[in-house]
């Protein structure tokens, strides 16, 4: 089923009229539903998906595996919320498996990310360990394929 939220995730720049036509709804109803979803917190915001490799060649994205000591009566929530408030942090998730939090961080270069990890993240009470993995190349981001010019390139065939 094609829902309003699915359409907005694909392209949040569509007008209410375009959305109404696609979904077989009235334009006023679409506007009201978008407002309701925003007010309820189902829609957290709207953002552009940027190809940093093309726009900012030194830009760095890292995923940090963080092990923490859960707080009494707060579990992971308070510490995760403190981490998520840093402007360098783009996403923060509670995970199952060998680490507790997955923290996605962006910086203008490697040094900025390293400073964040060493000066801010690792020094917080409750952090047991942090393992940083740097993103090397993007193929797909938030459901969007990165346009790669591979026209005419073929893999070599050997007998």
What is the tens place of the pLDDT at every residue in 105-144?
Answer: 999 999 999 999 999 999 999 999 999 999 998 888 888 8
Tell me, what's the pLDDT at 143? 82
Confidence class of residue 18 from pLDDT cuts 50, 70 and 90? very high
Produce one character per residue of 145-158: b if its CB has 16 or more CB atoms within 10 Å, e if not. Answer: eeeeeeeeeeeeee
User: Residue 1's pLDDT is what?
Assistant: 46
Decide if 95 contacts 101 (C-beta within 8 A): yes
Global confidence as pTM: 0.79
Section 147-156 average pLDDT: 64
What are the phi and psi torsion angles at 66 (to 5°)? Answer: -120, 130
CA 111, CA 107: separation in Å to the nearest integer? 8
Return the higher-pLDDT residue of 1 and 35: 35
Residue identified by tokens 């996403």 is: 91
pLDDT in tens, 1-13: 468 998 998 888 9
pLDDT digits (tens, 9 = 90+) for 40-66: 999 999 888 787 877 888 899 999 999
pLDDT on residue 155: 63
């Amino acid at each position: 089923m094609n829902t309003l939220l699915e359409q907005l995730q694909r392209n949040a720049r569509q007008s209410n009229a375009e959305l109404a036509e696609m979904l077989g709804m009235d334009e006023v109803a679409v506007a009201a539903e978008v407002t309701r979803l925003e007010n309820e917190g189902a829609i957290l915001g709207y953002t552009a998906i940027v190809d940093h490799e093309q726009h900012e060649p030194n830009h760095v994205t890292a995923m940090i595996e963080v092990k923490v000591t859960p707080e009494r009566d707060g579990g992971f929530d308070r510490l995760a919320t403190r981490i998520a408030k840093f402007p360098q942090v783009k996403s923060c998730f509670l995970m199952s498996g060998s680490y507790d939090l997955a923290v996605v961080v962006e910086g203008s270069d490697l040094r900025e990310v390293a400073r964040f990890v060493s000066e801010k993240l690792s020094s917080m009470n409750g952090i047991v360990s942090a393992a940083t993995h740097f993103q090397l190349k993007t193929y797909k981001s938030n459901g969007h394929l990165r346009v790669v010019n591979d026209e005419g390139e073929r893999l070599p065939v050997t007998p």
